[in-house]
Amino acid sequence: MKGPWLCFDTATEVLSAAVIGEDGRLLAEVSRHAPRLHSAMLVPTIEETLALAGIARGDLAAAAANRGPGSYTGLRIGLAALQALRDGLGIPAYGVPGLVAAAFSQAQDGLVAPALDARREDAFCALYEVGGGALPLERIEPSLRGLREFCGELGLLRRPVLFLGDAVRAHRSILEGFEFARLGAADLRAADLGRFAQRAREEASIADALSTAALYLRPPAVSGR
């Protein structure tokens, strides 16, 4: 796929967009803390990022966005825009599972636990074995659960685990209570979504993971009706 890729992430309070080359090299990125402003700011942020990279929208070869898990509203804003870019520009679009893409961004081999804050002490989290530049191996599948309980399970592995994602910031004190926990980047980067998609496209076994449908992990709450 010749040409630059547009990538964006609306799964957390940080709205992030990036343009990368077909080889994964970063051309430009813009991130802003924009709670509840994703629907207002996503397209302006995309425009800003493309301008920084000196890329016209018509030159884009593909687009990628986070399909989840994360904020339900945020995911829908990102995926609706992703589908519109696909339809409007006539380019392929990839919805990228965000937690595994975050794990894939780690250069160091070992266990990686991406975890997104889901209020109270809950997190969207998963565990991956990262090594040798291969796609991460899923050890615990993505789910929404209590962070303490998740850490309790990880402790049984008796190995260091690198935590990534905004739970690192929101729940630092919880994570610091576990000796095996190493704290990594709290803010994930949109470019990593694109790099994961570029790699995953080549692996037929997980091509289905790149759908533009949202990964909510939970059925909608309809209680009280």
Partner 1 sequence: MICLGIETSCDETAAALVTGEGQVLGSVVASQIDLHEAFGGVVPEVAARRHLERLSPTVRRAIEEAGIGPEEIGLVAVTRGPGLAGALMVGLSFAKAYAFARGLPLVGVNHVVAHAYAAFLGAEVRYPELALVASGGHTVLLQLRGPQDALVLGRSRDDAAGEAFDKVARALGLGYPGGPLIEAIAREGDPLRCPLPVVRPIEGSLDFSFSGLKTAAQQRFLAGEGPADVAAAFQEAVLAQILSRTRVAIERLGARRLVFAGGVSANGFLRERLAQALAPLGVELVAPPMHFSTDNAAMIARLGLALYAAGERAPRELNAEPVIHPFKP
Question: Given the rule CB under 8 A, which residues bind partner 1?
Answer: 37, 39-44, 46-47, 57, 72-73, 76-89, 213-214, 216, 220-222, 225
H-assigned helices in the chain: 38-53, 72-89, 98-104, 147-155, 167-170, 172-176, 190-200
Q: How far is the CB of 41 from partner 1 (least distance, A)?
A: 7
Q: For residues 16 and 106, which CB has a smaller minimum distance to partner 1 in the complex?
A: 16
Q: How many CA atoms lie within 13 A of 80 on its CB side?
A: 10
Residue 222 and residue 38 in contact, taking contact as beta carbons nearer than 8 Å: no
Q: For residues 84 and 137, which CB has a smaller minimum distance to partner 1 in the complex?
A: 84
Q: How far is the CB of 222 from partner 1 (least distance, A)?
A: 5
Q: How far is the CB of 107 from partner 1 (least distance, A)?
A: 33
Q: For residues 95 and 165, which CB has a smaller minimum distance to partner 1 in the complex?
A: 95
CA distances from 91 to 3, 59, 65, 71, 203 (A): 11, 10, 14, 26, 20
Q: How far is the CB of 58 from partner 1 (least distance, A)?
A: 9
Which neighbouring-strand residues pair with 146?
Answer: 122
Q: For residues 91 and 168, which CB has a smaller minimum distance to partner 1 in the complex?
A: 91
Residues whose CB is less than 8 angstroms from the CB of residue 155 and which lie 6 or more positions away in sequence, other chains included: 178, 180
Q: For residues 79 and 126, which CB has a smaller minimum distance to partner 1 in the complex?
A: 79
Q: How far is the CB of 51 from partner 1 (least distance, A)?
A: 12
Residue 144 and residue 124 in contact, taking contact as beta carbons nearer than 8 Å: yes
